[in-house]
Amino acid sequence: MSRQPLLMWRKATATRAPNVIADLDEFDRNMGCVKFDAAVYATGVVFMHNRYSCHEMGEIVGLFERGAIPEGDVTPKQPRRNQNPHRKVTARGKLKFDPDNLGVVHLWIPFGEHKRWVTLKCDNPDIGQLMSVVRQALRISIHDDRDFISVDDLVIAVDDWSISLGLCDTNPLERLLLEAA
């Protein structure tokens, strides 16, 4: 490299401003994990043994029942409604989710002129927080080169979680462990 990086940066930004992500929520939706064949029911979406719904779920199900999937969209092809009258699934949809926060998923609505992601909240909101705590404990055990999660790993994970949310300064689990010893 014959030029200094700072000089090259200044020249590049003088001619064109760098791209900045305006909406971080949209970025998270675009970069999240995808499930292409999620079951959409009249009462919501079931994903990883949890039900997700929103206040406009009836309208969303109606869109899936009436609308034809636009050409080129990767949403699963919808079965005919009368194909199996005993089937409870209304439609199949595309879900985006963050494995660290299963309290919220996003359902792709491929119909109409305003194609969009709809945010569905878990009926049991604690599941997203619980999964992030267990995932953190798993990371700690992997970092320590162990094949199991110890109680100490969970203590550290709950501590990190409770402090990050501003719930407390110390881990309540750690205090219980000290009292039990």
Give the model's pLDDT for residue 54: 87
State whether 51 and 99 are in the same domain.
Answer: yes
Give CA angle at 24 (130, 39), nearest 5°.
55
State whether 118 and 36 are in the same domain.
Answer: yes
The ranges of the chain with pLDDT < 70 are 1, 66-89, 114, 125-129, 131-132, 161-177, 179-181
Beta strands in 48-86 (DSSP E): 50-53
Give the model's pLDDT for residue 88: 63
Last residue of one domain, picked from the residues 123, 150, 167:
123
State whether 151 and 104 are in the same domain.
Answer: no
Contact 173, 159 (CB under 8 A): yes
Structural domain including 166 reads 128-180
State whether 75 and 134 are in the same domain.
Answer: no
Give the model's pLDDT for residue 50: 81
Give the model's pLDDT for residue 82: 45
pLDDT in tens, 48-77: 778 888 888 877 777 777 666 655 555 555
Give the model's pLDDT for residue 83: 47
State whether 108 and 137 are in the same domain.
Answer: no
> Which H or E run contains 176?
helix 172-180
Strand partners, 111: none
Give the model's pLDDT for residue 140: 83
Give the model's pLDDT for residue 37: 84
State whether 94 and 110 are in the same domain.
Answer: yes
Contacts of 117 (CB under 8 A, 6+ apart): 29, 96, 106, 107, 108, 109
Last residue of one domain, picked from the residues 123, 151, 168:
123
| 90 occurs within a structural domain | yes
Q: Give residue 152's region: left, alpha or beta (phi > 0; psi -120 to 50).
A: alpha
| 6 occurs within a structural domain | no
Cα separation, 56 vs 109, whole angstroms: 12
